[in-house]
A and B are shown apart, each in its own frame.
Chain A
Amino acid sequence: MSATAPAGRPEHASLAQLGALLDRRQVSAVELARLFLDRIERHRDLNAFLDVRPEATLAQARAADERRARGESGPLLGVPLAHKDVFVTRDWHTTASSRILQGYTSPFDAAVVERLAGAGMVCLGKLNCDEFAMGSSNENSAYGKVLNPWDRGAVPGGSSGGSAAAVAARLAPLATATDTGGSIREPAAFSGVTGTKPTYGRPSRWGMIAFASSLDTAGLLTQDARDCALAFNAMLGFDPRDSTSVERPPEDYTRHLETGLDGLRIGVPQEFFAAGLEPEVEAAVRAALHEYEKLGARLVTVQLPNAALGIPVYYVVASAEASSNLSRYDGVRYGYRTADYADLAELMAKTRAEGFGAEVKRRVLIGTYVLSHGYYDAYFLQASRVRRVIAGEFQRAFAQCDLIAGPVTSGVAFGFGEKSADPVAMYLADLYTVPSSLAGVPAMSLPCGFGRQGRPIGLQLMANHFDEARMLGAAHRFQCATDWHARLPPGF
């Protein structure tokens, strides 16, 4: 079914291994870029990439090689990656997988893109996702669905489906992604890779196309926790261009990778193991928790009593913000504009009707409704209050434990079309990921087994604000003891 990555093939190498190969001049950045561009071309059927421009990629690779030749080094210098299409880029189109931004080129790079490029990373192109990052299956892209490398009949998860599929299929050693209510962790679980969302405010949102500003958090899909820690060192940090960016001294996210787990308290919220969780997922997650006990951690029962309210709260708050954030796409200044219109009102209305997909329109409608006069208090204001309640519950839980663990999703990846006719069923897919998003705490998904038809299962870890290093350390210890993360989908 799956194979452990054979040693020595750069396409299967982790970021740390690639850095070592580059350091020893066993491979050049240009060779690596060509290798991955070739894989991207060969696996176009996955539809993970939306824009690939080999010339731009190779120019960056040559620049990285020149930097190494001049004596520079660094774990990321010359290593390729790909960006989710919600990060704006000068050298590749940025569409957020929407027709309304078809062919759009940004005059500036997103902060995350800038930072990783500054560390010498080479961009392979832009990755498919759900339109404006709205979705849990990547079926909402205007440019077609992304296939799950483990099972082409299954969704890769969403919204960062292209990022997850690309890393799972090793079309890129790692990929940026964004998480608003689970858009990194759910595709990581469905696609069998490691997906990490840092604390809200750690990564800059400058140049990240907004879905729900108070929740949107940039993160990574990687092969393992160590790769994530290495890349976070370059990617995260204060940015004065984002008012919600947190000003803290830089830190080394790899510092707990070798820290043992003796005495680590892992909180297990009962609410995450209630009805609705499929037995195969529960079994894999419980086995992973048992593995942690063997590594020296202690399991503590914690309560997140209102976690289940996370779904309605999230769909009110996120949709409200989205309805406003997406108002700028009106056909006046850039992007798609309808062909025929009689006046300004019709120009905007038709542009938006034709430019947005069904799910985006649904959320704009929900958001407009919950902010309307007469409904604001009952919906938006009430949801904001419950959001604070949920955030408070996390703080009480973290008073009793160091990390919280549980499932990422209730089941393994579903098939195409299985939930797309039922928006509420699709929204419930975010049940376990939304609460930590509402609280703004870091959370991640790491592979912990396989379910029916060989589809991957993820374990979720959550930490308190700014405690990513401890979370990544605990994930790394688990990955040192298991090989779920090292399995490859057949044929890749």
Chain B
Amino acid sequence: MAQAWETVIGFETHVQLQTASGIFSGTSKAFGGAPNSQASVIDLALPGALPVLNAGAVERAVAFGIAVGATIAPRSVFARKNYFYPDLPKGYQISQYEIPVVQGGRMSFTVVPRDGEPYVKTIDLTRAHLEEDAGKSLHEDYHGMSGIDLNRAGTPLLEIVTEPQLRSSTEAVAYARTLHALVVWLGICDGNMQEGSFRCDANVSVRPAGSGTLGTRVEIKNLNSFRFLQQAIDHEVRRQIELIEDGGRVVQETRLYDPDRDQTRPMRSKEDAADYRYFPDPDLLPLQIDGALIERIRAALPELPGAMRARLVQDYGLTEHDAAALTASRALAQYFERVAAAAGDRKAAANWILGELSAALNAEDLPIERCPVAATELAVLVNRIGDGTINGKTAKDLFGLLWRGEAASVDAAIEARGLRQISDSGALERIVDEVLAAQAAMVAEFRGGKEKAFQALVGQAMKATKGKANPQQLNEILRRKLR
């Protein structure tokens, strides 16, 4: 019988903080500038240049710490991590080592397995620390030479480290998505994975199910999309299990994921891991953070996704699932809040956003920020269904008009196109009589016991009203007349 294996995953995520300038320099760090156009004398590590800590980066780290319920260290220390690399200008990276600014914390998220029921998972964070990004080595287009672009050097990073508590690639992706949503929600990161603003490294190991000890871990780098992340972990887990089952041993190493081939390949092993010779950076004083600063940052924080989720369930009566879906991103949550504020029926508003609107966004691969339907108009649409002005069928057509830009105002479109629902029972009775007279065969089928024929008759009657009949009334009248 095949051995059962358990997957163990921990994460190290490098989040580029959105600050006006570098973590230790006053230079702008926008993505995409001409090579080396955004590198100051500090980023270039010219002789005599010294680092000065950017308070904006500290505030963003603290905001994250508060959001995950972590301890904000009153005193944390910047250290030098020494190693030589052409795109590391000083020959060391300034990073927090022994005493990080954010200590502990936890995050909860909903996991939806491919088979099985959704469940809520909570993971402990080990720490989050501030450090500077390195530059980039460009190995193409230089004919046997390497290009060095130091624009990115000195960009503030928050490295967020979890305990090894994730048990599947699905949990890993759910965690990564939740973390991504949180840092974007807090406004501390632009979340652009393609440009490297949010970079995940996964530490993956396997062990026999039920074992209390950890297996040898492999670090996988270059996971720059959630899809690659899941594929890379699945691949790595399979590789490790096959290796062990074939009598081999997993070696501790760093592997790079190659999405084109769907495989990981070794980057460096522990044997050639450098001795980084960490020591406190004598150019920087310890970072002191007082309670007043923490309280100021706490007061300025937006409502956090967890709190909002709970509020949507409790106050709006939404399901846990819908609340989680609506708070998946701050932009979506804000859109929902704008619709819900103007719509009488918040549940209906949620259904429209998670149903029709999300489907339309997905079909065109649009983010909510670029949704062509104004929240106020979607609210009017919801209200016009609620007050019986239009029926659901008409509402869907109207939504299509709004989406395509063929109508700007729901109310104007209802009037101009005569889309009001027909709720006049006299009018409906006349239409039903006409349909029953014209569809004698169907009536006979229904009377012969074919329930399907009833739906066909409803369809005919609806068609006769050009879809505007109040469906409930129509149903009742038909039932009564066929009795």
Residue positions of A touching B, CB distance < 8 A:
87-88, 94, 96, 101, 104, 106-108, 110, 205-210, 212-214, 240-244, 320-321, 323-324, 326-328, 330, 332-334, 344-345, 348, 368, 371-373, 376, 380
- Where chain B touches its partner, the secondary structure class is loop
A101 proximity list for chain B (CB < 8 A) = 47
Q: Which residues of A contact B448 (CB under 8 A)?
A: none
The 9 closest A-B pairs by CB, nearest first: A327-B91, A371-B277, A214-B282, A213-B282, A207-B48, A328-B45, A88-B48, A209-B47, A373-B275
B89 at the interface (CB under 8 A from A): yes
- A240's partner among B52, B89, B275 (CB-CB below 8 A) is B52
- Check B46–A332 contact: CB distance below 8 A: no
Q: What is the distance, in angstroms, from B97's C-beta to the closest C-beta of chain A? A: 11
CB distance from B360 to the nearest CB of A (A): 51
Whether B86 pairs with A330 at a CB distance below 8 angstroms is yes
B481 nearest CB across to chain A (Å): 87
A243 touches B47 (CB 8 A): no
Instruction: Say whether B277 contacts A110, CB under 8 Å.
Output: no
Minimum C-beta distance from B174 to chain A (A): 36
A317, closest chain B residue (CB): B282
Is B47 touching A96 in the complex (CB atoms < 8 A)? yes
Confirm or deny: B72 has a beta carbon within 8 angstroms of a beta carbon on chain A: no
A107 close to B46 (CB less than 8 A): yes
Q: Which residues of A contact B283 (CB under 8 A)?
A: 210, 213, 243-244
Of chain A, the residue at the smallest CB distance from B86 is A332
Q: Which residues of A contact B44 (CB under 8 A)?
A: 333
B277 touches A324 (CB 8 A): yes
Chain A nearest CB from B402 CB (Å) reads 54
Instruction: Name the B residues within 8 Å of A373 (CB-CB).
Output: 275, 277
Q: Which of A110, A244, A330, A371 contacts B91 (CB 8 A)?
A: A330
Q: Complex Cα distance A88/B49, Å?
A: 10
From A106, A326, A333, give the contact of B48 (CB < 8 A).
Answer: A106
Considering only CB atoms, which chain A residue lies closest to B85 in the complex?
A: A344
Q: Is the CB of B53 within 8 A of A334?
A: no
Take A327-B91, A330-B91, A344-B146 as given contacts and tell me if A88 and B86 are in contact as well, using a CB distance cutoff of 8 Å: no
Taking a contact as CB atoms under 8 Å apart, the answer to whether B50 and A327 are in contact is: no
- B50 in contact with A206 (CB, 8 Å): yes
**Chain B residues near A108 (CB-CB < 8 A):** 41, 46, 48
What is the bound-complex CA distance between A243 and B77, given in angstroms?
Answer: 13
Which DSSP category, helix, strand, loop or mixed, fits chain A's interface? loop
| Distance A206 CA – B42 CA, assembled complex (angstroms) | 11
- Contact B50 A372, beta carbon cutoff 8 Å: no
- 18 CB-based A-B contacts, threshold 8 Å: A96-B47, A106-B48, A210-B48, A213-B282, A213-B283, A241-B52, A243-B284, A243-B285, A324-B82, A328-B45, A328-B90, A328-B91, A330-B91, A332-B89, A333-B45, A344-B146, A372-B277, A373-B275
Question: Is B82 a contact of A243 with CB atoms below 8 Å?
Answer: no
Q: Is B148 in contact with chain A by the CB < 8 A criterion?
A: yes
* Interface positions of B from 449 to 481, Cβ below 8 Å from A: none
Residue in B47, B279, B282, B283 whose Cβ sees the most chain A Cβ within 10 Å: B47
Asked if B47 and A88 sit within 8 Å, CB to CB, the answer is yes
Interchain CB contact (< 8 A) of A368 among B80, B148, B277, B282: B277
Contacts of B84 in A (CB 8 A): 327, 330, 345, 348
Q: How far does the alpha carbon of A212 sit from the alpha carbon of B282 in the complex, in Å?
A: 8
- Complex CA distance for A327 and B276, rounded to whole angstroms: 12
In contact, A106 and B91 (Cβ under 8 angstroms): no
B419 to chain A, nearest CB (A): 66
List B contacts of A208 (CB < 8 A).
48
Using Cβ atoms and an 8 Å threshold, which residues of chain A touch B284?
243
A368 and B275 alpha carbons, distance in the complex (Å): 10
Q: Give the CA-CA distance A452 to B471 in the complex, in Å.
A: 117
Is A333's CB under 8 angstroms from B146's CB?
A: no
A106 cross-chain contacts in B, Cβ below 8 A: 46-48
Number of B residues near A (Cβ < 8 Å) is 29
- B282-326 CB mask vs A (1 if < 8 Å, else 0) is 111100000000000000000000000000000000000000000
B344 close to A (CB within 8 Å): no
Q: Is B226 an interface residue (CB 8 A)?
A: no
Chain B neighbourhood of A345, CB < 8 A: 84
Smallest Cβ distance from B285 to chain A, in angstroms? Answer: 6
- Would you give the shortest CB distance from A209 to chain B, in whole angstroms? 5
Contact call B47/A324, Cβ cutoff below 8 A: no
User: How many angstroms between the C-alpha atoms of A101 and B46 in the bound complex?
Assistant: 11
Residues of A within 8 A of B89 (CB): 328, 332-333
Which of B89, B91, B282 counts the most chain A CB atoms within 10 A? B282
Q: A110, A243, A327: which contacts B53 (Cβ < 8 A)? A: A243
When the two chains form their complex, are residues B279 and A371 in contact, meaning their CB atoms are under 8 A apart? yes
Alpha-carbon distance between A110 and B82 when the two chains are bound, in angstroms: 26
Q: How far is the CA of A324 from the CA of B91 in the complex (A)?
A: 7
Query: A328 to B83, alpha carbons, bound, how many Å?
Result: 10
- Taking the closest CB of chain A, its distance from the CB of B310, in whole angstroms, is 42
Docked Cα-Cα span, A206 to B282, in Å, equals 14
B92 CB–A CB distance under 8 Å: yes
Does residue B56 face the partner (Cβ distance < 8 Å to A)? Answer: no
**Choice from A88, A104, A324, A368 contacting B92 with Cβ under 8 Å:** A324
Question: Is A242 a contact of B80 with CB atoms below 8 Å?
Answer: no
Shortest Cβ distance from residue A199 to the other chain B in the assembled complex, whole angstroms? 16
- CB pair A206–B285 under 8 Å, yes or no, is no
B46 pairs with A243, CB closer than 8 A:
no
A376 pairs with B279, CB closer than 8 A: yes
A107 & B41 in contact (Cβ 8 Å cutoff):
yes
- Report whether A209 and B48 are in contact in the complex, using a CB–CB cutoff of 8 Å: yes
Residues of chain B within 8 A (CB-CB) of A96 are 47
CA distance A348 to B91 in the complex (A): 11
- Closest residue of chain B to A209 (Cβ to Cβ) is B47
B82 and A372 contacting across the interface, CB-CB below 8 Å: no
**Chain B contacts for A214, CB-based, 8 A:** 282
B51 beta carbon closer than 8 Å to chain A: yes
The distance in angstroms between the C-alpha atoms of A92 and B256, with both chains bound, is 47
User: Could you tell me if A372 and B47 are in contact, using CB atoms closer than 8 angstroms?
Assistant: no
Cross-chain contact A243 with B52 (CB below 8 angstroms): yes
Assembly CA distance A108 to B50 (angstroms) = 13
A106 to B44, CA, bound (A): 12
Contact present for A206 and B91 (CB under 8 Å): no
Query: Provided the pairs A243-B285, A380-B279 are in contact, do residues A205 and B80 lie with their beta carbons within 8 angstroms?
Result: no
Among residues of B, the one whose C-beta sits closest to the C-beta of A132 is B47
Known: A206-B49, A210-B48, A330-B91. 8 other contacts (CB 8 A): A107-B46, A209-B47, A244-B282, A328-B89, A348-B84, A368-B277, A371-B278, A376-B277
Chain B nearest Cβ from A290, distance in angstroms: 40
A326 to B80, CA, bound (A): 13
Residues of A within 8 A of B278 (CB): 371, 376
Cα of A87 to Cα of B47 in the assembled complex, Å: 9
Q: Let me know if B279 and A320 touch, CB within 8 A.
A: yes
Minimum CB–CB distance from A235 to chain B (whole Å) comes to: 16
| B277 CB contacts on chain A under 8 angstroms | 323-324, 368, 371-373, 376
> In the docked arrangement, what's the CA distance between A96 and B47, Å?
10
Residues in B whose Cβ lies below 8 Å from that of A330? 84, 86, 91
Chain A: minimal CB distance from B433 (Å): 88
CA distance A69 to B146 in the complex (A): 55
